[in-house]
């Protein structure tokens, strides 16, 4: 199965009631991460997205 992956992603952030920040990449289901501040949450979610994309490439899910 070949699929294309976008080179542009939407990162949505929100501050939780406990003060932590959560970031999510809307185009990749399940890719979300927490951080102590907004920038850290974004950095963590970008790292996770790259790992998810690499895994999909390794398994031939995207070309």
**Read out DSSP for 1-63?**
------S---EEEEE-TTS-EEEEETTSTT-EEEESSHHHHHHHHHHHHHHHHHHHHHTTS--
Q: How many domains does the chain fold into? A: 1
Residue 49 has pLDDT above 50, yes or no: yes
Whether 43 has a pLDDT exceeding 90, the answer reads yes
The strand pairing partners of 15, in sequence order, are 21
3, 61 Cβ separation under 8 angstroms: yes
pLDDT reported for residue 1: 46
Q: What percent of the chain has pLDDT above 70?
A: 89
Per-residue pLDDT averaged across 14-39, rounded?
97
**pTM score, two decimals?**
0.83
Q: Is residue 26 assigned to a domain?
A: no
Residue 45 within any structural domain of the chain: yes
What domain range is 39 assigned to?
Answer: 34-63
Residue 40 pLDDT > 80: yes
Is residue 15 domain-resident?
Answer: no
Token output for 54: 């690499």
Both tokens of residue 31?
Answer: 């890719």
């Amino acid at each position: 199965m070949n699929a294309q992956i976008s080179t542009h992603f939407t990162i949505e952030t929100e501050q939780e009631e406990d003060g932590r920040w959560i970031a999510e990449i809307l185009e990749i289901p399940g890719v979300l991460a927490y951080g102590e501040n907004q920038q850290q949450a974004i950095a963590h979610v970008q790292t996770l997205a790259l790992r998810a994309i690499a895994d999909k490439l390794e398994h031939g899910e995207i070309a």
